[in-house]
Amino acid sequence: MRETLLIVVPLAGALLAAVWPSERTRPWLLPGVAGVHVILSMWLLVSPPVVAPESWIGFDAVARAVLPVVSLLFFICAAYGVNYLSLRRERPNRVFVASLLAVIGLLSAGHQARHLGLLWIGTEAVTLTAVPLLHFNNTPRAFEATWKYLLVGGTGIALSLLGSFCLGYASLYGGGGGDMTFVSLMAQGPALSRPWVLIAWVLLLVGYGTKMGLAPMHTWKPEAYGEAPGIVGALLAGAVTSVAFTAVLRVRAVVGAAGAGVIADRTLLAIGLFSMLVAAVFLLATRDFKRMLGYSSVEHMGILAIGASLGPPGVWAALFHVWTNALTKGAMFLSAANIRRAAGSASIDAVRGASVLTPRSAALFVAAMFAITAAPPFGPFFSELRLVRVALGAGHGLAVAVFLGCLLLAFFGMSRVVFAVVDGRPQRAAMEESRRFVESTAATLPALVLLVLSAWLGLFTPRVLQEAWTNAASQLFPVP
């Protein structure tokens, strides 16, 4: 019941937002619904319900390991959103608020989907619902970003449907009765037709990998993150990608049960390292601090893929990283959004002296940059350290060397951009522009809270979360 409310409440909120008459009060629906959502998901985290094995939807161990952070991130972004939309009075917010609430409802459904087809429907619906969020700014550049998002994302989603069909046919060929829940697919195990399973794995990895933003299917990411409002970027990077990641994990579990786990792990490791390399190279080249966040997200999706390739302890580390990445990246997006608004541009050629224009946001931006590039004591340091130890334990010395090299390059690239923006003397025009933007507590507190949560998660990882990640790893790798 509670787990259904996670889906129903935001969708009802979206309907309410669509008919809500007042532009001024409508944004308050965001924190209202998000508050209910976060309370429900934390309650479910602490006392998980019993999930019937054959159920199509349910708050199982995998959902429990990831969905609460989506909810938490959404709550903090929603609080930021009220202030953001009050600054953007010139844009009607009916569609924006309704879509945002619908996205969180559909994400909750996607995370809880235990059925191959249902999972696909959830991901597809999230992709489409996010479209109005991307072109909220209504500029030609936002349209361009939306077009690329749709074309690349649409192709990815089409391939993941084809992959789902292939996995379905693998089950049918192996004598399955047409039950496409992950539990029954895993129970079929080696009976699944091997050629079809391998075809399905490639298609599903490419399809859901596009949604995650793994290279070379990442091309939509810098465009979308560069042009969307910061709050949307934070949710895309921390929440929408995580549903695609759990999709990959759930499919990987079926492929593993079918006896092709080694091949799946090799492809995940290769695509993960490739994503990190591509991201590192582009981070060294980019001149736009919002697009930089897109490439940084590609890098962290690579880290998740590497974690997923390393068996149960690797998946544990990857789930940890989902949490730390979501919170830290959220802080980056929200502080970057403040700087972008005050400075009127996101290019390092045009923006200088953010430490003068928006001192608090600039400080948060720098701190979040150090946090996301794995400086202690923030969360990503601990989750990445964990991953490195697991990889070394599994004898992947070369992969660890590439991994650490990419992290170093990413640090060079990101610190270059961040300090170019923060340091120096602001241009006169920017000074005048920034007077219109007051750096209020409502604009800076959400990013601060996210950073504090990130550090807390790294230093004092709660017992209940560790248990949730362990349970998720053992659901994905059942002991025969």
Partner 1 sequence: MNIPLNWLIGLAMGLNLVALGSSRLPSLIRTVAAQGVILGIMPMVLAGGIDWRVSVVALATVVGKGLVIPGLLARAMRAVSIERELEPIIGFEVSLLLGAGATIAAVAGARWLPLLPEHAGSLLVPGAMATISTGFILLVGRVKAISQVCGYLILENGIFLFGLLLIEATPLMVEAGVLLDLTVGVFVIGIIVDRIQRAFNSLDTRKLTALRE
Q: Is 128 in the site for partner 1 (CB under 8 A)?
A: yes
Q: Is 266 in the site for partner 1 (CB under 8 A)?
A: no
In this structure, are residues 305 and 268 in contact, taking their beta carbons and an 8 Å threshold? yes
Q: Which of 76, 145, 310, 371 binds partner 1 (CB under 8 A)?
A: 145
Distance CA 285, CA 294 (A): 13
Q: Is 344 in the site for partner 1 (CB under 8 A)?
A: no
Tokens representing residue 50 in the block: 């019993």
Q: Which of 8, 158, 363, 385 binds partner 1 (CB under 8 A)?
A: 158
Q: What are phi and psi of 218, to 5 degrees?
A: -95, 0
- Assign 3-class secondary structure to 297-333: HHHHHHHHHHHHCCHHHHHHHHHHHHHHHHHHHHHHH
Partners of residue 115 on adjacent β-strands: 181
Distance CA 140, CA 204 (A): 32
Q: What are phi and psi of 288, to 5 degrees?
A: -135, 125
Tokens representing residue 461 in the block: 């990882």
The interface with partner 1 within residues 226-255 (CB under 8 A) comprises 226-227
Q: Is 172 in the site for partner 1 (CB under 8 A)?
A: yes
Residue 264: closest CA among 332, 210, 333, 310: 310
CB of 258 to partner 1, least distance (A): 14
User: In this chain, which stretch among 4-12, 32-40, 155-163, 423-431 interacts with partner 1, using CB under 8 A?
Assistant: 155-163
Sequence-ordered alpha helix ranges (H) in 130-260 = 131-134, 140-173, 182-188, 194-212, 220-227, 230-235, 241-255
Q: Is 169 in the site for partner 1 (CB under 8 A)?
A: yes
Angle at CA 150, nearest 5°, toward 149 and 155? Answer: 105
In this structure, are residues 342 and 356 in contact, taking their beta carbons and an 8 Å threshold? no
Q: What is the DSSP letter of 23?
A: T
One-letter amino acid identity for 11? L
Distance CA 199, CA 206 (A): 11
Q: Which is nearer to partner 1, 58 or 122 (CB)?
A: 122
User: In this chain, which stretch among 150-158, 354-362, 392-400, 404-412 interacts with partner 1, using CB under 8 A?
Assistant: 150-158
Q: Is 416 in the site for partner 1 (CB under 8 A)?
A: no
In this structure, are residues 320 and 300 in contact, taking their beta carbons and an 8 Å threshold? no
Distance CA 54, CA 52 (A): 6
User: In this chain, which stretch among 133-141, 367-375, 386-394, 434-442 interacts with partner 1, using CB under 8 A?
Assistant: 133-141
In this structure, are residues 164 and 200 in contact, taking their beta carbons and an 8 Å threshold? yes
Q: Is 456 in the site for partner 1 (CB under 8 A)?
A: no
Q: What is the DSSP letter of 256?
A: I
Residue 228: closest CA among 414, 120, 103: 103
Q: Is 211 in the site for partner 1 (CB under 8 A)?
A: no
Positive or negative, the Cα torsion across 441, 447, 451, 452? positive
Q: Which of 30, 63, 98, 180 binds partner 1 (CB under 8 A)?
A: 180
Site string for partner 1, 271-300 (x = CB under 8 A): -----------x--xxx---x---------
Close Cβ partners of 196 (under 8 Å, ≥ 6 residues apart): 166, 167, 169, 170, 173
Tokens representing residue 311 in the block: 């068996």
User: In this chain, which stretch among 41-49, 169-177, 392-400, 403-411 interacts with partner 1, using CB under 8 A?
Assistant: 169-177
Q: Is 157 in the site for partner 1 (CB under 8 A)?
A: yes
Distance CA 275, CA 277 (A): 5
Q: Which is nearer to partner 1, 151 or 429 (CB)?
A: 151
Kindly determine how many residues on this chain lie close enough to bind partner 1 according to the rule CB under 8 A: 50
Q: Which of 53, 140, 405, 478 binds partner 1 (CB under 8 A)?
A: 140
Q: Which is nearer to partner 1, 275 or 383 (CB)?
A: 275
Distance CA 28, CA 26 (A): 5
Q: Is 259 in the site for partner 1 (CB under 8 A)?
A: no
Q: Is 195 in the site for partner 1 (CB under 8 A)?
A: yes
Q: Which is nearer to partner 1, 147 or 456 (CB)?
A: 147
Q: Which is nearer to partner 1, 71 or 164 (CB)?
A: 164
User: In this chain, which stretch among 142-150, 247-255, 310-318, 459-467 interacts with partner 1, using CB under 8 A?
Assistant: 142-150
Q: Which is nearer to partner 1, 117 or 259 (CB)?
A: 117
Site string for partner 1, 368-407 (x = CB under 8 A): ----------------------------------------
Site string for partner 1, 88-117 (x = CB under 8 A): ----------------------------xx
Q: Which is nearer to partner 1, 28 or 165 (CB)?
A: 165
Residue 378: closest CA among 445, 312, 457: 457
Q: Which of 32, 154, 261, 311 binds partner 1 (CB under 8 A)?
A: 154
Under the rule (CB under 8 A), what is the footprint of partner 1? 116-117, 120-121, 124-125, 127-128, 131, 135, 140-141, 143-148, 150-151, 154-155, 157-158, 161-162, 164-166, 168-169, 172-173, 176-180, 193, 195-196, 222-223, 226-227, 282, 285-287, 291
